[in-house]
Amino acid sequence: MAVLAPRALSPESEPLVGNYFIAAYPPFSSWRAEQVPALLDALNRAETKAPLGLYVHVPFCQKKCDYCYYLSFIGRPAAVIDGYLNKVVDEIALYSERRAVAGRPLAFVYFGGGTPSMLTSAQIRNLTGGLKRSLSWKGVPEVTFECAPRSVRADFLNTLRDVGVTRISMGVQSLDDELLKLNGRVHLREDVLRAYRMIQQTGFDWINLDLMCGLLGETDVTWRETVRQVIALAPESVTIYQTEIPFNTQLYRNLKSNTLPADTVPWNVKRARLDYAFNELDRAGYAVVSAYNAVRDPVKHEFQYQKHLWSGGDMLGLGVASFGYFGGVHYQNAVTLESYDERVSESSFPVWRALALSERDQLVREFILHLKFGHADSAYFRSKFGVDITRAFAEPLYELRTERMLTCTAAGVQLTAEGLLKVDRLLPRFYDPQYRQLRYT
């Protein structure tokens, strides 16, 4: 990728607050409670050949980071956590009884949070053992477990290895102590180095380190030094997200009350820093495989979660507020511990809202998600949907081609280096009219 000089964009195209990263289409705000029966219908259909994955939400943290918008709970006692994990096991048992789920092999399992590494070894064994009783993990290619540096410990890592975890994803964000403190992180640089050494010594052959560019108070100097140190550690993959300011975060509340301890980083500067990191990773032998990921060995370490979910695969979202996608239906679970517990205790699916996608919706969804890889293959969409994507999306493709964000040929669509850095800003151009003016969440 070529290094980009920061370029100012109009305020209309670069809002300071709100969700930047696009995870779903149509937008979450279009999902409705009255659509929940569509999920139940999908679960009762005949078995499908689509790959199936699990996402397990562990919503407990020591402290909520200032930029975090994921649902999490602070300071809950062990009994509450134990009870919650038992309900997750009960929830997967409900799914395993449905015709479209029973007996299907798993393509991936992902434990996210919150801070899953807060769980004790006994809690991890009880949770994974309960999940395996409902759906076999035999031969599953990828089991990912998120962790925070300060909560990494020997017994925890040994337990993860024993239960079948294949990839550790550690939230580093930065290796500058002052930046970490400024953005509400509880760990420091030394915690990262200690945890990383322990993970390596335990024998995991895939360690992913998460970074965030554009943290509050970040400079070119601090960012470049973090990138240098991460490359020196030589993890199997590096994931980098551009810092955003969602509405339901402490960062947003501080911005509104004029109490931010440092200036926010403009979007054009964030993208220039991301571009710098990708170039440095490329020089170090990594391959940039999406708008967020660089991998040392793309064949050996392929992100199964992205590969399948972004191509229409099914994913059962387990736990409070968890998101899932099954049989062409988006859904989200109940968003309080009490309502989630109550529904599962009644042997009912704890689903709060859902949306059944039309064939057109599914086409748009997969097309924009494939663009996150940097390309969309014409043959793939012609085979799956019977559609020529260069005609189906002719108008926005023409606009973005003239803006030098992508190239378009009979073979498909390829984002330019600049287009890949801006991909989440570009994707709404492809939304159908009824979804364009909706708030994302």
Q: Which one is the CATH code of 28-308: 3.40.50.970, 3.90.1150.10, 3.40.190.10, 3.80.30.20? A: 3.80.30.20
pLDDT band at 285, cuts 50/70/90?
very high
- Give me the helices (H) in 117-249, please: 121-134, 154-163, 177-182, 189-202, 220-233
pLDDT band at 317, cuts 50/70/90?
very high
Please report the sign of the dihedral spanned by the C-alpha atoms of residue 66, residue 337, residue 305, residue 314: negative
Question: Is the pTM higher than 0.85?
Answer: yes
pLDDT band at 62, cuts 50/70/90?
confident
**Does 287 have pLDDT greater than 70?**
yes
Cβ–Cβ < 8 Å for 95, 315: no
Cβ–Cβ < 8 Å for 4, 275: yes
**Does 47 have pLDDT greater than 80?**
no
| Residue 9: per-residue pLDDT | 37
Domain boundaries, the chain: 28-308, 359-431
Please tell me whether residue 55 adopts helix, strand or coil conformation.
strand
Cβ–Cβ < 8 Å for 365, 350: no
| Residue 13: per-residue pLDDT | 57
The more confident residue out of 145 and 259 is 145
The two tokens of residue 47 are 């078995």
pLDDT, tens only, 181-235: 999 889 999 999 999 999 999 999 999 999 999 999 999 999 999 999 999 999 9
Instruction: State the Cα–Cα distance between residues 282 and 286, nearest whole angstrom.
Output: 5
pLDDT, tens only, 115-142: 999 999 999 999 999 999 999 999 999 9
% the chain with pLDDT above 90: 83
Of 3-7, 54-58, 341-345, 381-385, the least confident: 3-7
Cβ–Cβ < 8 Å for 353, 36: yes
Query: Which of 216, 239, 198 has the alpha carbon at shortest distance from 65?
Result: 216
Torsion angle, alpha carbons of 19, 21, 24, 28, to 10: -10
pLDDT, tens only, 3-35: 333 333 333 357 778 778 899 999 999 999 999
CATH tag, 359-431:
1.10.10.920
pLDDT, tens only, 384-428: 999 999 999 999 999 999 999 999 999 999 999 999 999 999 999
Mean pLDDT (whole number) for 353-370 = 98
CB within 8 Å of 314: residues ≥ 6 apart? 48, 50, 51, 52, 53, 325, 326, 327
